[in-house]
């Protein structure tokens, strides 16, 4: 078994294990103490414990690998690094809304190599390996064939660190093109839905690597177009805009966002 095959197996085990723990606490969330990290930025022990479970599972199998996680930051090697968002959609999670996911990506020499997005509530697991396609519960997936803006639905995220007109101007431009939109609260699941054709695009005008790096690889491997998070030397530990879409609407997404997508 190759190192990537072993890491793929380990990643699947880790997100399922972490997801099971997060789901158990979700069902008992009234026992959780909610803390505030920033404006509309919440956290609980569910986030920290889930990230710990994922880190410990991976570290036991690959002690030479490093990590970048939302809750515990960076540690270890950067040329072989796992990026973790233990609960993407924490506000939904703590409010009792079952739209949240567990995110994991393996990055080697700066390039996303493996991606894992797990929705414990629906037992949906998206996986991808660079150059080998994207899968949902083991079945190959592709982006939607949508080619007209007025037939497309775009999923959105908003970050309170963003100047609001950047978001509202982008949204107005998309609406004027005839695009519909949704804002559901988990970039992880929305990008999974772009990869499997449920949405046509996902846009965040400011986001962190742990929110989108796994999903961007999923969409790319499903035949879609995506932004490059580390383009121009941008580091993984600093936020920036990100977008992904079905190939037929690449031009309109670039126009309304001002971003450049590859695909």
Question: Per mean pLDDT, which range of 1-5, 187-191, 231-235 is the poorest?
Answer: 1-5
Residues 49/34, Cβ–Cβ less than 8 Å: no
Out of 3.40.50.720, 2.60.40.10, 3.30.70.2390, 3.30.540.10, select the CATH number for domain 3-140.
Answer: 3.30.540.10
Mean pLDDT of 101-125: 98
Whether pLDDT at 38 is above 70:
no
Whether pLDDT at 197 is above 60:
yes
Q: In whole angstroms, what is the distance from residue 214 CA to residue 15 CA?
A: 12
Out of 3.40.50.150, 3.40.190.80, 2.30.110.10, 3.40.250.10, select the CATH number for domain 149-257.
Answer: 3.40.190.80
Query: What pLDDT does residue 222 have?
Result: 98
How confident is the prediction for the chain on average, in pLDDT? 94
Name the band, by pLDDT with cuts 50, 70 and 90, for residue 37. Answer: low
Query: What pLDDT does residue 43 have?
Result: 55
Mean pLDDT of 209-220: 98
Higher pLDDT, 30 or 206: 206
Task: Identify the CA nearest to 259 among candidates 209, 179, 215, 201.
Answer: 201
Name the band, by pLDDT with cuts 50, 70 and 90, for residue 41. Answer: very low
Whether pLDDT at 57 is above 70:
yes
Whether pLDDT at 42 is above 70:
no
Q: What ranges do the domains of the chain cover?
A: 3-140, 149-257
Q: Report DSSP state, residue 263.
A: -
Q: In whole angstroms, what is the distance from residue 137 CA to residue 125 CA?
A: 5
Whether pLDDT at 40 is above 70:
no
Whether pLDDT at 30 is above 90:
no
Whether pLDDT at 260 is above 90:
yes
Beta-bridged to residue 139, according to DSSP, are 136
HSE, side-chain direction, 13 A CA sphere, residue 80: 9
Residues 103/13, Cβ–Cβ less than 8 Å: no
Write out 159-217 in H/E/C secondary structure: CCCCCHHHHHHHHHHHHHCCCEEECCCCHHHHHHHHHCCCCCEEEEEEECHHHHHHHHH
Q: In whole angstroms, what is the distance from residue 114 CA to residue 167 CA?
A: 30
Whether pLDDT at 263 is above 80:
no
Mean pLDDT of 100-113: 97
Name the band, by pLDDT with cuts 50, 70 and 90, for residue 99. Answer: very high
Q: Report DSSP state, residue 249.
A: G
Query: What pLDDT does residue 73 have?
Result: 87
Query: What pLDDT does residue 153 have?
Result: 98
Query: What pLDDT does residue 126 have?
Result: 98
Q: In whole angstroms, what is the distance from residue 256 CA to residue 139 CA?
A: 32
Task: Identify the CA nearest to 255 among candidates 212, 225, 213, 220.
Answer: 225
Residues 197/143, Cβ–Cβ less than 8 Å: yes
Task: Identify the CA nearest to 174 among candidates 191, 195, 199, 196.
Answer: 199
């Amino acid at each position: 078994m190759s190192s990537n095959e072993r890491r793929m197996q380990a990643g699947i085990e880790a997100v399922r294990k972490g997801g099971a723990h997060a789901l158990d606490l979700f069902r008992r969330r009234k026992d959780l103490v909610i803390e505030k990290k920033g404006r509309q930025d919440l956290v609980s022990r569910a986030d920290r414990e889930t990230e710990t479970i994922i880190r410990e599972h991976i570290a036991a199998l690959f002690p030479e690998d490093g990590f970048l996680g939302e809750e515990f930051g960076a540690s270890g090697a950067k040329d072989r690094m796992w990026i973790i968002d233990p609960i993407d959609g924490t506000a939904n999670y703590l409010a009792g809304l079952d739209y949240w996911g567990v995110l994991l990506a393996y990055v080697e020499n700066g390039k996303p190599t493996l991606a894992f997005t797990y929705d414990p509530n629906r037992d949906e697991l998206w996986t991808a390996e660079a150059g080998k396609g994207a899968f949902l519960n083991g079945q190959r997936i592709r982006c939607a064939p949508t080619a007209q803006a007025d037939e497309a639905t775009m999923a959105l995220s908003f970050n309170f660190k963003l100047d609001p007109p950047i978001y509202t101007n982008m949204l107005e431009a998309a609406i004027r093109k005839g695009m519909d939109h949704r804002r559901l609260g988990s970039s992880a699941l929305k990008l999974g839905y772009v990869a499997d054709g449920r949405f046509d695009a996902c846009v965040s005008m400011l986001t962190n690597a742990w929110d989108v790096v796994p999903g961007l690889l999923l969409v790319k491997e499903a035949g879609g177009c995506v932004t490059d998070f580390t383009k121009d030397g941008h580091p993984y530990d600093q936020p920036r805009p990100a977008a992904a879409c079905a190939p037929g609407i690449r031009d309109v997404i670039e126009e309304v966002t001002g971003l450049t997508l590859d695909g």
